[in-house]
Structure 1
Amino acid sequence: MDLPEVVRLTGVPMALRWSGAPLPVQPAEDALTITTGPRTDWFVDPATGEVTATGSALLGVAPHREFTLTARVSVDFASAFDAGALVVRPAPDHWAKLAHEISTQRQPMLVSVVTRGRSDDATGLHTDAGTVWLKVSRRAGAYAFHASTDGDVWHLIRHFYLGEQDCEVGFLTQSPTGEGCRARFTQISYLNAVVHDLHDAAHPAPLEYVVERDLAAPRDQVWQAWTDPAAFASWFGGDVGTVGLDVRPGGRWQAGTGLSGRYLDVVDGRRLVMETAFPGGDTVMEMTFSDHEGGTRVRVGQRCRSTEERDGGRQGTEVLLEACGDFVTGQEGR
């Protein structure tokens, strides 16, 4: 099985990298399966300070100060404390995990661990479910862990503070006492906002749209239309003097005097994640480019915070893809 050092998921705007040795992983759209080896864990004993850092987590730097990461988690439990977890880590000695874990009595449970130099360890819920939904969110500088056994009714597990700095967020599979463990994370969803009240049991799912368009031009030409300033200005608007495209993760883009933002992820010729700054809140658009029947299939997706944002985003995306298609088709005819 491949052990990729970088993993990208649909709907997650940042690349994920291993903290620790790469593990067998199976990424697929908005799903992820991670298999860890024996005696793997992240924990710092609260009594002795003994550090256990034998586990590997798949993490990415969250590009927003406020965000929500959700996943449906199922674990092939074999030994005590086997688990699949969501993790946040602002610093090497400040981190937290929310785990779907099995106890020494073979009881599935929700466990939260918050580490500030040393770890604590708290059981939140015992469940009869083989699958649970886990959620980590950050708002106003503090973090929250929520869990659900059905994806509809949510329970607040933990509300805590780990500092104001940026953080990494992602996924961990552990097997502290066993010979290994496999956990599957599905229905993975990232949103650059917190859309629920911490104590409200009902968390509305983010709204989203996907638009696909097949363009009659090769992929390198369509990619150039989005990443070359002169080509971009020709169909998007503005002119070369007012269009700036620093096409790299963290790079800025600007079109004319009205629109600007940054690139959250870039895979040359294949993937662009673009954030656009608006007064009411930034939006994130994920684009993929693939070869398709002699041309290029462009797929654009966005997770939204309101029906207005979703409907406006879909309409704007359709206009953009039509304009880009007209431009690259005209280029082909020259």
Structure 2
Amino acid sequence: MTTKQFTITREFDAPRAALWRAWTDPAIAAQWWHPHEVVTPPESVRIDLRVGGTYEYLMVDPDGGRWPTGGEYLEVREPERLRFSWADPGDAVADAMRITVDLRELPGERCEMTFHLEGVDEDRVSEQSVSTGWAEAFDELDGVLVQA
């Protein structure tokens, strides 16, 4: 088994507090926790934002394929850092991928987000598909923040 990792750094035209809410408010998360052409039904998003708390959501693709996912919060430092596991339901936390999101304020009501994912099991899913999916989700996030 080979595990991979990657980092995506992106700037947003929104204050850090808005990015924090986008990661932690179920109603906002439902609008962007998915790649293009996929939806996340708002009623599927549950967030218990505390260390040891869990989150879950469902992605539905255009053909009706259903992709439930979720994980456990490992670090919660509002408004600057979230660390959590990311896996299929029922996967052990120890076997899950881990995501770290760091939010840094920039001048002019802007924010830099550094997203780091580690533990991609290439025997199960390709690093490229996971990286592309998250990059598309961040495109969705950018659209949500522009509308806010």
TM-score by length of 1: 0.35
- Partner of 1:225, secondary structure, is helix
1:1-334 matches, within 5 Å, as: 207-236=4-33, 237-239=40-42, 241-256=43-58, 258-278=68-88, 281-294=95-108, 295-307=110-122, 308-331=125-148
**How many angstroms apart in 1 are the aligned matches of 2:44 and 2:24?**
14
**How many angstroms apart in 1 are the aligned matches of 2:85 and 2:71?**
5
Q: Give the count of matched residue pairs.
A: 127
Residue identity over aligned pairs, in percent, reads 21
Deviation at 1:321, TM superposition (A): 1.2
**How many angstroms apart in 2 are the aligned matches of 1:297 and 1:262?**
24
| Structure 1 portions without partners, runs of 5+ | 1-194, 196-203
Deviation at 1:302, TM superposition (A): 1.6
- Partner of 2:112, secondary structure, is strand
Deviation at 1:235, TM superposition (A): 2.6
Partner amino acid for 2:98?
V
Deviation at 1:309, TM superposition (A): 4.0
Q: Relative CO higher for 1 or 2, CA cutoff 8 Å, sep ≥ 6?
A: 2
Structure 1 stretch 252-261 or stretch 214-223: which is displaced more?
A: 252-261
**Of Structure 1 and Structure 2, which has the larger fraction of its residues in helix?**
2
CA contact (8 A) 1:215 1:329 kept: no
**How many angstroms apart in 1 are the aligned matches of 2:115 and 2:13?**
17
CA contact (8 A) 2:83 2:100 kept: yes
**How many angstroms apart in 1 are the aligned matches of 2:126 and 2:98?**
11
CA-atom RMSD in angstroms: 2.2
**How many angstroms apart in 2 are the aligned matches of 1:245 and 1:207?**
27
Deviations 1:23-64 (CA, angstroms, capped at 9, x unpaired):
xxxxxxxxxxxxxxxxxxxxxxxxxxxxxxxxxxxxxxxxxx
